Structure 1
């Protein structure tokens, strides 16, 4: 792995002010897509658990479509499929947006993780203790206040273990961004392999970087679970 480290370690890890490292691009893809997906998923989860079918059905269809098709296909449809439409190319704003592989990658990743996160949060909302809901009603809370102060905060805490797995999976899913010519970790590894023909070293280093970042995310979420879910832990008498 010495040759790869000597020739490409800057492209993997180092940001020199002119070229962004593969690690930085991967982390930005992760943060942007997970952030957008989270913000979208909270209201969609509320709609998903609604008893009104005209509200819950469109959300259910959206989650089924994006959970039932491969992320790779979704990225290709957004990056190449949508841009092939005439009205997209003729519209200045749409043309500028879908011409960018980076923006298309973030859009595909955000829509994908939003679908999974919506189902995670919706499941947590459905499992909210009946006693919590009754207590909120006893205090005279409106539907909006009850969801804002009781249901959503409680559901987000309980969904944290499942959501941490989704974030880790999204880190791994960013590896498809190279399809849209995004210079992430895997793109740098492919370039290193093409230049040196040392496939094991090139992709082995990429795998090591992904593993280190994954372990760091696991540690962060474990601390978050200990903080917000500590009240659920068994206590010694």
Structure 2
């Protein structure tokens, strides 16, 4: 396991809960582009705090419309705090917080704000949430690779682990914003009528907020 910790580098990158545990650092950036961290970021833009909750098997498109969908969050008004269910991003964020790390939500919308917020003296773990196959195993996905790479591409290359450099290079080569609509996760959202979520998620640097998990709630 030691070989996978990327300890020789200040800025690290890996996937999912197991990868997060391996590259634990002072600060962790959770990336779940479609759609948890995009939703959290849009909420923060609107002054709304987000309390993540576990995703239950009964969750469906209707539940998504009330919480997880960025497009639904963009329409919220006069709300101070919302509970948002998430199958990947929330569990990852809580797991990282238990390591003692400061945890923030990163995505394509706020990648420059997140990169600027990071302390240049702290160790940093950028963790892509990924999706899940039907058997529960991790499915690395292009959107989270691009989202993580979007933050990493703004950090000093000398600080990046080889894994982090690969993610940064993937972002630089990404056909954004149009390409985000073509990934598997986006096609699933289009199929159930949530194509607007993909459009919002693809808006690079649309937000200047950095939501941080404090006391179980994401706040700016």
TM over 0.5: no
TM-score tier by shorter-chain length is: under 0.3
Give the TM-score of the pair, scaled to structure 2.
0.27
Larger Rg computed on CA atoms = 1
Which structure: greater strand fraction?
A: 2
- Give TM-score scaled by structure 1 length: 0.25
Give the number of the structure with larger relative contact order, counting CA–CA contacts within 8 Å between residues 6 or more apart. Answer: 2
More helix by share: 1
